[in-house]
Structure 1
Amino acid sequence: MTRIPTEPGTTERETVETGTPTPAAAASPKNALDLYFKISARGSTFGNEIRGGLTTFMAMAYIVLLNPLILSGADVTGAKLSHAQLTTSTALAAAVVTIVMGVVGNVPLAVAAGLSVSGAVSALVVPHTTWAQAFGLCVIYGLLIVLLVVSGLREKIMNGIPLPLKHAITIGIGLFVALIGLHKAGFVMSGGPTLVSLGPFGELTGWPVVCFAFTLLTIFVLLARNVRGAILIGIVAGTVFAVVVNTVAHIPTKAWGSAAPTWPGSPVSAPDFGLFGHVDLFGAFGGKGLGAISASVAVFTLVLAGFFDAMATIIGVGTEAGLADSQGRMPGLSKALFIDGAGGAIGGLVGASGQTVFVESATGVGEGARTGLASTVTGGMFVLMLFFSPLAGIVPVEVAAAALVVIGSMMMSQARHIDWADREVAIPAFLTCTLMPFTYSITAGVAAGVISYVVIKAGKGKWREPGPLMWVLTAVFVVYFALTPVKEWLGVH
């Protein structure tokens, strides 16, 4: 039986085999909204859901600023996309898919442009295609994932992964999220005489890092004092502190990881939907695009990244939210998986690149979010960003990064569920946990865990125990790790 945390003063509830929390005392729905989202049934409150939704939005609002920067390069013809249109497309796709995830999927998962997908599209695809062709590939990879969901294969894969590996995925995402936060804050940097260092030159410099430290310690103190809304309060306090520091110290804009935390001249902006429908579905497969083989490899790469990044995030955040049963399975999982896959196609259709579940959803879960109402609130905030996108720049990335480190520390609690003395599970779990942050790739961590688990079982003569799906996954992940020589063998550049 998996226990989920409840608010102080409430009765603890247990998760039964179906994964649905059963109140220890009668908890009849308060109204139709409560009944629809199962708020009381999951041991949550309206306050928790709203606070969680706002916290998730504040932790991921940076995507409205960052995604247009990633997609700002020129395509094969030298054409560049409008920054205003990219901003609108990013907010629009996030709003639509996140609200659908909340209303239909009823899970506290927020969806927006995946940085791994946007990065792959910008760096690997667009130099050889037009932007319309690149967005066409996003639509195709999203539709392929939807087909995997409809066939039931994606849910079978998720449910077929051994429970210890699911716990390891949660831990690995926690470490990955914490590393992202530390790096975005400038607290941990890459390069120099060592692989990573404290700050850019082995020491911490600049006021933005101070703002990160202030926010991080504020949240930790509030959590230690069991203050409700600790993460949200910490982000607000950190933002106010950053605005004051920036005003008094006159910090150069380039010193901040994103825009400087100042009140914009005009918080209102008119949305520009010019990229909607800017799609050439099959152009990348032709002679004027990547070509059939290269385009197929690109789609395969996007499917792998979108499939397993989202899968791991859903497992990690769902487990942290107490929505999984004793075997790590989530009821209603197929809906969430379908919406996530459709997000890839929707993102391509509106010109924002593929959408995927964000690990920042864990910040809302940390505030008590347990239902889709939180996602609906997050999506509603992205709707507002269509008209108030300049406001997204007020929260500096260093402040939002502190929330990621906090959530990373929370997700480490899953380590208690792994038998570290059993090497058959401890070694795959270790590789899963460590390779996610060390390779900066969720997919690489999942792949290493799956391959090592199957190989160890086979090496001990238990080759039937992993099951056919795990063997198929192992073959797929071997191709994933060997993708470069495979591309060379196929003559793909």
Structure 2
Amino acid sequence: MLERFFRYTQRNSSSGTEVRAGVTTFLAMSYIIAVNPSLLAAAGVSAEAAVTSTCFAAGVMTILMGVCTNRPLACASGMGINAVVAFSLTAASGGDWRVAMGVIFLEGIIITGLVLCGLREAIMDAVPISLRRAIAVGLGIFIALLGLINGGIVVNNESTLIGFGSVYSPQFMVGALSVLVTFVLFVFHVRGALLIGILIASLAGIPLGVTAIPQGILQLPNFTTFGAPFQTAQDGSGMAILKVFVSPTLLVFVFSIMLSDFFDTMGTVVAVAKQGDFLDRDGNVEDIRSILLIDSIAAALGGFVGSSSCTTFMESASGAADGGRTGLTSVVCGCLFLVAAFFSPVIAVVSSAATCGALVLVGYLMMSVVADIDFDKPLDGISAFVTIIGIPLTYSISTGIGLGFIVYSLIAVCTGHMKKIKPLTWIVDIAFIISFLVA
């Protein structure tokens, strides 16, 4: 029955490989169970309720992604947007996190509408091939950088902005061990290299104090944040979401978050598609419309349950790199998130440092596409270069993509290649320029 529905044999996979890949993706993402509630707590959201909403949104939408698209993609509360909710959006909402979730919910509804009318897919089709390939490379570097930061190998430095971490740091030791074990297993073609690397690093982190001993086993779900946009606003003036429509500042937030969500997903999906073998020669993602639809609904659901915007997670690439080729990978991952809602004290002990090796290996695997970019042509090469360095150096997928779009159009104008620019590309350029100006 599973074979008939997911067709994993047809994609050179097996049920065992898909299950293992689902576990790998979950472990690579599991840090969100602890990190998202800690960020939302700054906005006044109950930590217990945030754990429930984070696990529920991730679990439900990841399962839907697997069932509806049959691709190894997983969803969870997006890093970056949750920080905006915690430290900027809630303040702009008068300190009311329910109103902030109303902004997220509205953004998700609008972006779902864009998918249904075909605009979101059309914009993706308007992306030049060179930029599609550059996005995959930039995401690879970004994912690797994220892993190195998680492992304490790359750290903040007041003089040079970033620097090499201390080799005596327990976090560094766990991160370095994770990289070493994962790459050695990969070189020797050991199945499940990423998952084994995460588990070994997690165990090694116990005596080093990086992997915490769980303070309990069970934690009953807390559903008090569900329906947040439709709850009464903090000041008692009425339904929280209604305050969004009467505030120009909040409407600007809707636009800027929508733009970020839009292109973060585009970059992530391209990156995972590269690993999961559903990216064609022209850089087009197969089954893109259904993927974008589920991702858009996930954003709205995240706002509804109070977990911040739920989006396709870049760590999905770890499961794809571990052999995941179908939606069964996603279903397994999603079910683990739902289980984690009850066992979060145990699941949350997997440290981000333990996932360092998996993310760095994914970054390495995604670099191969750089050979397909023609750097001898300034129009393709310069815009691709700006995109590749823009994503990791600005620590923003959407910003890097935006810079690449704008530079591509400028060079096309200067070199007499305006005919290569599609009308939607100009619209995207203008949208990015506006977002940069109001940021």
Specify the TM-score bucket, using the shorter chain as the normaliser: over 0.9
- 1:66-465 equivalent positions in 2, closer than 5 A: 66-74=35-43, 80-129=44-93, 130-199=96-165, 203-243=166-206, 245-246=207-208, 251=209, 256=210, 260-262=211-213, 264-280=214-230, 283=240, 286=243, 291-465=246-420
Residues 167 and 316, structure 1, Cα contact 8 Å, conserved in 2: no
Deviation at 1:283, TM superposition (A): 3.9
What is aligned with 1:42? 11
Question: One-letter code of the match for 1:407?
Answer: V
Deviation at 1:356, TM superposition (A): 0.5
Residues 308 and 446, structure 1, Cα contact 8 Å, conserved in 2: yes
Task: Please give the per-residue CA displacement for 1:448-493, whole angstroms capped at 9, x wherever unaligned.
Answer: 1111111111111111112111111111111122224xxxxxxxxx
Q: Provide the TM-score with structure 2 as the length reference.
A: 0.95
Question: One-letter code of the match for 1:60?
Answer: M
Deviation at 1:353, TM superposition (A): 0.9
Question: One-letter code of the match for 1:161?
Answer: V
d(CA) in 1 for partners of 2:265, 2:274: 14
Q: Secondary structure at the match of 1:39?
A: coil
Task: Please give the per-residue CA displacement for 1:111-142, whole angstroms capped at 9, x wherever unaligned.
Answer: 00011211111111111321111111111000
Q: Secondary structure at the match of 1:189?
A: strand
Deviation at 1:224, TM superposition (A): 0.6
d(CA) in 2 for partners of 1:320, 1:224: 17
d(CA) in 2 for partners of 1:172, 1:265: 39
Question: One-letter code of the match for 2:201?
Answer: G
Larger CA deviation: 168-177 vs 178-187: 178-187
Deviation at 1:238, TM superposition (A): 1.1
Residues 92 and 250, structure 2, Cα contact 8 Å, conserved in 1: no
Aligned partner of 2:435 among 480, 486, 491: 480
Deviation at 1:383, TM superposition (A): 1.0
d(CA) in 2 for partners of 1:39, 1:336: 18
Larger CA deviation: 100-109 vs 466-475: 466-475
Deviation at 1:230, TM superposition (A): 0.6
Identity of aligned residues (%): 36
Deviation at 1:291, TM superposition (A): 4.8
Question: One-letter code of the match for 2:205?
Answer: A
Total equivalences in the alignment: 430
Deviation at 1:157, TM superposition (A): 1.1
d(CA) in 1 for partners of 2:343, 2:221: 9
d(CA) in 1 for partners of 2:407, 2:70: 34
Task: Please give the per-residue CA displacement for 1:56-97, whole angstroms capped at 9, x wherever unaligned.
Answer: 0000100000000110124xxxxx221111111110110010
Deviation at 1:364, TM superposition (A): 0.2
Larger CA deviation: 321-330 vs 448-457: 321-330
Residues 128 and 290, structure 1, Cα contact 8 Å, conserved in 2: no
Q: Secondary structure at the match of 2:191?
A: coil
d(CA) in 1 for partners of 2:428, 2:215: 52
Task: Please give the per-residue CA displacement for 1:245-275, whole angstroms capped at 9, x wherever unaligned.
Answer: 23xxxx4xxxx4xxx432x243111111111
d(CA) in 2 for partners of 1:265, 1:465: 59
Question: One-letter code of the match for 1:170?
Answer: A
Unaligned runs of 5+ in 1: 1-31, 75-79, 485-493
Task: Please give the per-residue CA displacement for 1:163-219, whole angstroms capped at 9, x wherever unaligned.
Answer: 1111110100011111111112211112322121112xxx43312211111111011
d(CA) in 2 for partners of 1:326, 1:182: 30
Residues 150 and 175, structure 2, Cα contact 8 Å, conserved in 1: no
Deviation at 1:51, TM superposition (A): 1.1
Residues 135 and 280, structure 1, Cα contact 8 Å, conserved in 2: no
Q: Provide the TM-score with structure 1 as the length reference.
A: 0.84
Question: One-letter code of the match for 2:284?
Answer: R
Question: One-letter code of the match for 1:93?
Answer: A
Residues 69 and 287, structure 2, Cα contact 8 Å, conserved in 1: yes
d(CA) in 2 for partners of 1:163, 1:38: 29
Deviation at 1:292, TM superposition (A): 2.3
Task: Please give the per-residue CA displacement for 1:323-374, whole angstroms capped at 9, x wherever unaligned.
Answer: 0222222232111101100111101111111101100000001101111110
Question: One-letter code of the match for 2:18?
Answer: E
d(CA) in 1 for partners of 2:246, 2:434: 21
d(CA) in 2 for partners of 1:183, 1:400: 11
CA RMSD of aligned residues (A): 1.6
State yes or no: 1:62 paired with 2:31: yes
d(CA) in 2 for partners of 1:401, 1:291: 44
1:145–1:36 Cα change, 3 Å: same
d(CA) in 1 for partners of 2:157, 2:435: 26
Extract structure 1 runs of 4+ deviating beyond 2 A: 280-286, 289-292
| Structure with the larger helix share | 2
Residues 268 and 390, structure 1, Cα contact 8 Å, conserved in 2: yes
Residues 173 and 313, structure 1, Cα contact 8 Å, conserved in 2: yes
Residues 155 and 333, structure 1, Cα contact 8 Å, conserved in 2: yes
Deviation at 1:285, TM superposition (A): 6.0
d(CA) in 2 for partners of 1:422, 1:209: 41
What is aligned with 1:18? none
* Larger of the two Rg values belongs to structure: 1
Deviation at 1:36, TM superposition (A): 1.5
